[in-house]
């Protein structure tokens, strides 16, 4: 298995969807925790000014003094903004509301789409996986992520408007691939907040599979109250209650993600 790993190079993935509340942050935190649990070293980079990934991993406000805003602005190296989480193997670059202003400031800056790519150079041999938790927008911050990563994981909530906006995301990814980042791929689409008591969830899941085929992971993340409680305890669901259906689903998702990475290498 080791031979399939590109030695000294992280797999860098963005968790992206311009819709808010679809499960990006929940997926970033719990996928990262599940990867860490099987011995992978993982860095989450929180590039959402809401800082939910930072809060969900229990990173104190005072520990966010050095954060992703300073990194993107080029004021500090990425390494100095890395916080350890309570989970072994899982580190985080936190975000604060400062990042809200970054978008406007970036417009005026040189290499405005490549700030994150440049900042990542110094850490990209330090981890097995680097996951970037994107904001709910197709703004310059998200563009920075799409330029910096090798692939994208797209969470889709099992609700009526699930596919709405997806074509814009796909088009954006295609455009970035044909211009700024030729290696960019969608690693997969993950169905989130699936409610088995709701027939609509089933219908949506089926429609999404008909439309996107095997881009959709087999694993479906169920709607689960333990998953939604976990962030208020500053813990990933996998630590808060590793037995709950949501946590178990994220463990399965992690193994699919690892498998897809390996088949991409083997190709
Ligand atoms: P995004 O990052 O896309 O805005 P979040 O991951 O923050 O979305 O999720 C939005 C809300 O839904 C949060 O309150 C989160 O706790 C909740 N949530 C996410 N996934 C689940 C799930 N599988 N079951 C129940 N609640 C969930
Ligand atoms: Mg989020």
Name the residue with the closest Cα to ligand 1, atom 26: 228
Total of domains in the chain: 1
Contact assessment for residue 53 and residue 46, using Cβ atoms and an 8 Å cutoff: yes
Q: Which of 18, 24, 26, 190 to mutate to test the pocket of ligand 1 (most atoms within 8 A of CB)?
A: 26
CATH number at residue 113: 3.40.50.300
Check if 232 has its Cβ closer than 6 Å to any atom of ligand 1.
no
Residue 79 lies in a domain: yes
pLDDT higher than threshold 50 for residue 7: no
Residue 93 lies in a domain: yes
Contact assessment for residue 205 and residue 220, using Cβ atoms and an 8 Å cutoff: yes
Name the residue with the closest Cα to ligand 1, atom 24: 223
Angle at 142 between CA 81 and CA 155, to 5 degrees: 105
The 3-state DSSP class for residue 153 equals strand
Contact assessment for residue 61 and residue 97, using Cβ atoms and an 8 Å cutoff: no
Residue 238 lies in a domain: yes
pLDDT higher than threshold 60 for residue 2: no
Residue 95 lies in a domain: yes
Residue 18 lies in a domain: yes
pTM beyond 0.85:
yes
Name the residue with the closest Cα to ligand 1, atom 10: 21
**Residues 160-189: what's their mean pLDDT?**
94
Domain that holds residue 86: 11-266
Residue 2 lies in a domain: no
Residue 74 lies in a domain: yes
pLDDT higher than threshold 90 for residue 263: no
Contact assessment for residue 92 and residue 44, using Cβ atoms and an 8 Å cutoff: yes
């Amino acid at each position: 298995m080791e031979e399939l790993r590109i030695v000294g190079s992280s797999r860098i993935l963005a968790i992206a969807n311009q819709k808010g509340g679809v499960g990006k942050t929940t997926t970033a935190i719990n996928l990262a925790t599940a990867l860490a649990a099987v011995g992978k070293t993982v860095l989450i980079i929180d590039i959402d000014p809401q800082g939910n990934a930072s809060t969900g991993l229990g990173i104190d406000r005072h520990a966010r003094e050095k954060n992703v805003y300073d990194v993107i602005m080029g004021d500090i190296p990425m390494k100095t903004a890395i916080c350890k989480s309570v989970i072994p193997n899982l580190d985080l670059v936190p975000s604060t509301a400062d990042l809200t202003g970054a978008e406007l400031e970036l417009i005026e800056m040189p290499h405005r789409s490549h700030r994150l790519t440049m900042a990542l150079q110094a850490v990209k041999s330090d981890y097995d996986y680097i996951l970037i938790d994107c904001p709910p927008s197709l703004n310059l911050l998200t563009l920075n992520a799409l330029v910096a990563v090798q692939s994208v994981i797209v969470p889709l909530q099992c609700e009526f408007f699930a596919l709405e906006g997806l074509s814009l995301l796909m088009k954006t990814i295609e455009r970035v691939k044909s211009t700024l980042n030729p290696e960019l791929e969608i690693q997969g689409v993950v169905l989130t907040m699936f409610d088995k008591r709701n027939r609509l969830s089933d219908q949506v899941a089926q429609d999404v599979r008909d439309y996107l085929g095997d881009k959709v992971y087999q694993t479906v993340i169920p709607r689960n109250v333990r998953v939604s409680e976990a962030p208020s305890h500053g813990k990933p669901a996998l630590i808060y209650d590793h037995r709950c259906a949501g946590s178990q689903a994220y463990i399965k998702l992690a193994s699919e993600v690892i498998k897809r990475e390996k088949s991409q290498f083997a190709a």
